[in-house]
Amino acid sequence: MTHPTTTILARYADGGHGLDDAALWSIEVHLDVCADCRARLAARTTPATAELLDRVAASLDRAIDAGPAPARHPAPAAAVHRRWLAWTLLPWLAVTVAVLGCGVLLDSVEPSLPSLVLLLAPVAPLPGVAVAWSQRIDPAWELIATTPAAGLAMVLRRTLAVLVVVLPALLVAGVSTGTSLALTLLPCLAFTAATLALGAFVGVWRAAIGLALAWSAAVLLPSVVTRSLSPVLQSGSTAVWAVATAALAAIIAPAATRFRRLTSGN
Amino acid sequence: MRAVRAAETAPTLHPWLVHAEKLRVRAGRHLAVDGLDLTLTAGVHGVLGPNGAGKTTLMRALSTVVKPAGGSLTLLGAPVDGRADLREVRRQLGYLPQQFGFYPRFTIREFVAYMAWLKEMPKAAVPDAVQRAIDRVGLTGKADARMKTLSGGMLRRAGIAQAVVNDPRLLLLDEPTVGLDPEQRLEFRDLLRDLAAESCVLVSTHLVEDVVAACTDVLLMNEGRLLFQGTPDDLIARGGQSDAGDSPAERGYSALLRRHRSTV
Ligand SMILES: [Zn+2]
């Protein structure tokens, strides 16, 4: 590396008079890479240059003071997303847990009634799942529906968030009333899978409402009215629920393309 | 400066960024886009048309929100009708819907970051991209204000910020200047010209003047079809002194619509 001579650097510092464009250019290229010559140049700045630099520094300081404060550590988007999910799902999950709590109370007050915890377990996740993939609840759904993240993976993530709350609540309710845990948790999972499987074709929201109504009409209300637990929730049916859950879950993956758009029926 | 993805520099066989043939799209039961043929390259394309012409429905089909009912639609070289995998196209898409829903409790920065995350941008690139998008729409000083505290014009600009945060190759803006004051509209036109250098921008508006001032290409829609496609000068040339409108462009616009209506 050949460093520019002191005379040339001095001339450069004084405005480059007497140096042609090629010479100026090669000095600048060299200064870019050579800290020693930058230091030599700094020592030779003319009073006019020093004054200019001071003025620039002062006006930059003023502009920085007047401008907005630097961004504080912005929350990572994933954390923002979790917060949104919590705010959106919370009311629905709170209602679910409250209804389950009432079921537990009634079970202990009225032992002659069939277990309400058992009867409510299949429909307990449905409000949350319905909200997980619906244009009714999410104000920004039209934006979200155009992002690559929209699709089955997003639906499953949100459904998981619902189950993380609903399953422990059912577990506590089941243990406190002494009902069969398999017959509490398996129907809950089966109905969750059924909502998504049916939702692939008619929309998750409609599927959740349809399944909840069907369960209420076919099992929940008759059991309460006749004061005897429906055979579908008797101890012999555990295997059937397990098979149904697996079969319904198996339908969901091939139907993934149907979750790409959020428009019809959701 | 932005990172260039491999997909952007890969050779492509498609000359058009948007290509529709006999496209049909439903809005409810009604066919709002009915047999539309359209080809777009880079630049700013302004979509004009009377209410009910199908502008918003076209935007929703191009944004992949609604599935076309018929015809073919190709975006950035990839088909987006039927069962197509939309992820690669969606990564390169920016969209501002006419009805722009938002989360009132989020700050602008959080909202734009959330959208960047959903658009699957590399995690490390998100904070800078968010800041740049917010700066571009002139909301730097409001970046950490909650969205419920914003005026209509600021919300619209926040909506534009989320649309451009991923440097989309295809940017769809439905009525972006609603609620903007005249000065902000001028700034928005500058932003449009800036964006047009690297992408295909489609702007739907009812303001003929916005189109003439900022667009390289004018599309006129009526009853779900394309009535006219040309430069702003072409549009102006269609108008006569007797046509309705306050400016040459508006006169061209009403002349085209009048001529079409008298022939059907
Ligand atoms: Zn040197």
A82 contact partners, CB below 8 Å, separation of at least 6: none
| Mean pLDDT over each residue of chain A, to the nearest integer | 86
Q: What is the structure's pLDDT at A263? A: 63
Q: Does A148 lie at the interface with B, CB-CB under 8 angstroms?
A: yes
* Burial class for A172, CB neighbours closer than 10 Å (0-12, 13-18, 19+): middle
Residue type, B230: G
Range of lowest pLDDT (A23-32, A42-51, A236-245, B66-75): A42-51
Residue A58: helix, strand or coil by DSSP?
helix
Note the pLDDT of residue B187: 86
A80 vs B88, B114, B120: nearest CB: B114
- Sheet with B43-48, strands from edge to edge, namely B93-96, B170-174, B200-204, B43-48, B217-222, B225-230
Whole-angstrom distance, CA of residue A209 vs CA of residue B175 = 36
Instruction: Of B14, B1, B3, give the one whose Cα is nearest residue B40.
Output: B14
List Cα–Cα distances, B64 to A153, B9, B48, B159, in angstroms: 18, 24, 21, 18
User: Which chain B residue lies closest to A260 (C-alpha atoms)?
Assistant: B86
Q: Do A261 and B93 touch (CB under 8 A)?
A: no
Are residues A139 and B103, on separate chains, in Cβ contact within 8 Å?
Answer: yes
Whether residue B114 and residue A262 make contact (CB cut-off 8 A), yes or no, is no
Domain ranges of chain A: 6-66, 78-260
Average predicted confidence (pLDDT) for chain B:
88
pLDDT at B181 over 80: yes
Using the mean position of ligand 1's atoms as its centre, give its distance from the Cα of residue A5 in Å: 9
Mean pLDDT for B11-40 is: 86
User: Shortest CB distance from B86 goes to which of A72, A87, A260?
Assistant: A260
CB contact under 8 A, A150 and B116: no
Cα of A42 vs centre of ligand 1, distance in Å, is 13
Residues B119 and A149: beta-carbon distance below 8 Å: yes
Lowest mean pLDDT among A57-71, B53-67, B132-146: A57-71
User: Is residue B149 predicted with pLDDT exceeding 90?
Assistant: yes
Give how far Cα B203 sits from Cα of A101, A171, A183, B35, Å.
Answer: 53, 53, 56, 20
Q: What is the pLDDT of residues A70-89, one digit of tens each?
A: 655 556 677 777 777 788 88
Give the residue on A whose Cα is nearest the Cα of B67. A261
What digits encode the pLDDT tens for the residues A7-37?
A: 888 888 888 888 888 888 889 999 988 999 9
Q: Which residues contact A190 (CB under 8 A, 6 or more apart)?
A: A122, A241, A244, A245, A248
Find the A9 Cα to ligand 1 centroid distance in Å: 10
Q: Which residues contact A17 (CB under 8 A, 6 or more apart)?
A: A11
| Token representation of residue A63 | 């502009």
C-alpha gyration radius of chain B = 18
- Output the CA A2–ligand 1 centroid distance in Å: 7
